[in-house]
Amino acid sequence: MKKYLNFINGKWTPPTTEEYYPVKNPYNQEVLATAPLSTEKDVDTAVQAAKKAFESDVWSKKTPAERALCLLKLADLVEQHAERLAKLEAQDVGKTLKYAQDSDLPFIIDNLRFFAGAARNLEGKSASDYSGMGMSFIRREPIGVVAAIVPWNYPLYIAVWKLAPALAAGNCIVIKPASITPLTLLEFADLTLQAGIPAGVFNVVVGSGNVVGDALMKHPDVDMITFTGDTATGKKILHESGSVKHFELELGGKAPMIVLKDADLDMAAQGAVVGGFWNSGQDCTAVTRVYVHNSQFKLFVQKMVSLTKKIRLGDPLAKHVDMGPLVSAKQLERVESYVALAKKEGGKIACGGKRPSDKKLAAGYFYEPTLLTGIKQSSKVSQEEIFGPVIAIYPYTNYPEALEKANGVVYGLAASVYGMNIYDCMEMAKHLNFGTVWINEHGVLASETPHGGFKQSGFGKDLSMYSFEEYTRIKHIYIDSTRQKQRSWHYTVYGDK
């Protein structure tokens, strides 16, 4: 069995504790490998390596073309190893191999290539002669040492969303993967060496959030924190990081879908089922609340039930399987507790609502894809993030009510509208208080499009050139072009004429 170490300063480095923990497959509890249980000291070693690399000329002072070349090589290497990485991701997270192969890995490769291109397209504006005495230039510079803390639902995918723009802009990075899913990022670390990314520029430290995450976010030599995870953890990091740092926070979601009266109901039902149960519903943008007009409610629920019943649960590596287990016992308990609350409050289970009875699945953290009705808007089931395969369907009487309910949560990450009248769809999109609104779709992301939330879903953007800019700081340089001493304000003030 493979014993993974931390990746620090271009070397595989044992943790100072010399302790390791088992990383298990949530489908059958098989131990896949062991990973290091690191401490503050390991974090400090990694941050010092990143700082030294940043201050030297190995990366931040390279030309954009040189950095782009390394990222392009890295993308090619990931492509060569895609099959192996997809399988490992499927085993570590419990997501289907089909999904890891067709979605995660191609997106990771494309993202590395997109930000390689972005490295060569960083622009700074200039403002000419606004003072009548000179010119201003705006320079975008790398920030320094970036600490990235990432979740378990898309372990390599979300890590790459952060490391690709950070490295393209010339920063050095220390990443902490979620402790239950560190394996693909560690395998990826090996590829960074082969791609020619210099020692210290890219580092991975593995361990718990409370120890490694905490030490990383509080480290005085970390200049920026980019975090994806739960809103509660994001708030804690924001409040406790202890010094002034750049922040980018991608937090929880509770995505609504509004089905307008003229929507194609089959298309909308399919969008809701695919968008809600993708990755076993463990997705921050997953459809969690569907609002349907009263007159179509019964029919729409039937359509969703019939599609949901077709979802095949099983071994994530098997070809015919649509949904694997949840990632952990903790996540399964969380989902069970929300469904129990829904029942207690008088909600109805339209389908699912339990663990599958198939004995072959007993060792995995499986939960049937579940549709709920009769849930009050004020219920925790409507308001809080369940983060599992559970969708609630609600009737509405008019569009203002649908909009008010869709917006009536603390989250603001993503939403969708289904309808045929583009004016109504656009009007809804304008008033939906979410960072992304899809029309007649739910869940499409691309390297070119920004992803990030409003309200308690965080701030800043992943993906796109907006994300690239997050990893830069803006410097204003002013040049006096007059060469006339007496026109400069400080000489006037001090009477030096």
Site stretch for ligand NAD (CB under 6 A), options 233-241, 289-297, 342-350, 468-476: 233-241
Q: How far apart are the first and last CA of the chain?
A: 79
252 interacts with ligand NAD by CB under 6 A? yes
284 is catalytic: yes
DSSP-assigned beta bridge partners for residue 7: 12, 204
Closest approach of Cβ 141 to ligand NAD, in Å? Answer: 26
**One-letter identity of residue 335:** V
In the block, residue with structure tokens 């191999």? 97
203 interacts with ligand NAD by CB under 6 A? no
Site stretch for ligand NAD (CB under 6 A), options 185-193, 226-234, 263-271, 376-384: 226-234
250 interacts with ligand NAD by CB under 6 A? yes
Chain positions 163 to 192 lying near ligand NAD, rule: CB under 6 A, are 176, 178-179
If the CB atoms of residues 113 and 176 are measured against ligand NAD, the closer one turns out to be: 176
Site for ligand NAD (CB under 6 A): how many residues?
30
User: Which residue, among 55, 121, 37, 109, has the nearest Cα to 79 in the 3D structure?
Assistant: 109
214 interacts with ligand NAD by CB under 6 A? yes
* Distance, CA of 201 to CA of 489 (rounded, Å): 44
Is residue 146 within 8 A of residue 221, CB to CB? The reply is no
Q: Out of 155, 213, 316, 460, point to the residue binding ligand NAD (CB under 6 A).
A: 213
250 is catalytic: yes
If the CB atoms of residues 182 and 419 are measured against ligand NAD, the closer one turns out to be: 182
148 interacts with ligand NAD by CB under 6 A? no
Cβ atoms within 10 Å, residue 215: 23
Closest approach of Cβ 172 to ligand NAD, in Å? Answer: 19
**One-letter identity of residue 402:** A
If the CB atoms of residues 68 and 205 are measured against ligand NAD, the closer one turns out to be: 205
Q: Out of 18, 123, 128, 210, point to the residue binding ligand NAD (CB under 6 A).
A: 210
Q: Out of 165, 182, 198, 253, point to the residue binding ligand NAD (CB under 6 A).
A: 253
Chain positions 87 to 126 lying near ligand NAD, rule: CB under 6 A, are none
Q: Out of 142, 198, 209, 325, point to the residue binding ligand NAD (CB under 6 A).
A: 209
40 interacts with ligand NAD by CB under 6 A? no
* Distance, CA of 325 to CA of 361 (rounded, Å): 9
- Contact track, ligand NAD, 277-296, x by CB under 6 A: -------x------------
Q: Are strands 134-142 and 145-149 parallel, antiparallel or unpaired?
A: unpaired
Q: Which of 89, 187, 250, 368 is catalytic?
A: 250
230 interacts with ligand NAD by CB under 6 A? yes
Is residue 434 within 8 A of residue 257, CB to CB? The reply is no
The secondary structure of 25-58 as a DSSP string is -TTT--EEEEEE---HHHHHHHHHHHHHHHHSSS
150 interacts with ligand NAD by CB under 6 A? yes
Is residue 223 within 8 A of residue 217, CB to CB? The reply is no
Is residue 237 within 8 A of residue 226, CB to CB? The reply is no
Q: Which of 284, 368, 425, 469 is catalytic?
A: 284
- Contact track, ligand NAD, 321-360, x by CB under 6 A: ----------------------------------------
HSE-CB for 194 with a 13 A CA cutoff: 14
Is residue 200 within 8 A of residue 40, CB to CB? The reply is no
Is residue 339 within 8 A of residue 355, CB to CB? The reply is no
Is residue 8 within 8 A of residue 42, CB to CB? The reply is yes
If the CB atoms of residues 212 and 301 are measured against ligand NAD, the closer one turns out to be: 212
- Contact track, ligand NAD, 366-405, x by CB under 6 A: -------------------x-x------------------
User: Which residue, among 204, 212, 182, has the nearest Cα to 34 in the 3D structure?
Assistant: 182
Distance of CA 291 to the CA centre of its chain: 26
Q: Out of 13, 25, 226, 233, point to the residue binding ligand NAD (CB under 6 A).
A: 233
Please name the helix (run of DSSP H) or strand (run of DSSP E) that holds residue 219, with its range, or none: none
Q: Are strands 246-250 and 458-459 parallel, antiparallel or unpaired?
A: antiparallel
- Catalytic residue numbers read 250, 284
Residues within the interface to ligand NAD (CB under 6 A): 149-153, 158, 176, 178-179, 209-210, 213-214, 217, 228-230, 233, 236-237, 250-253, 284, 385, 387, 413, 453, 457
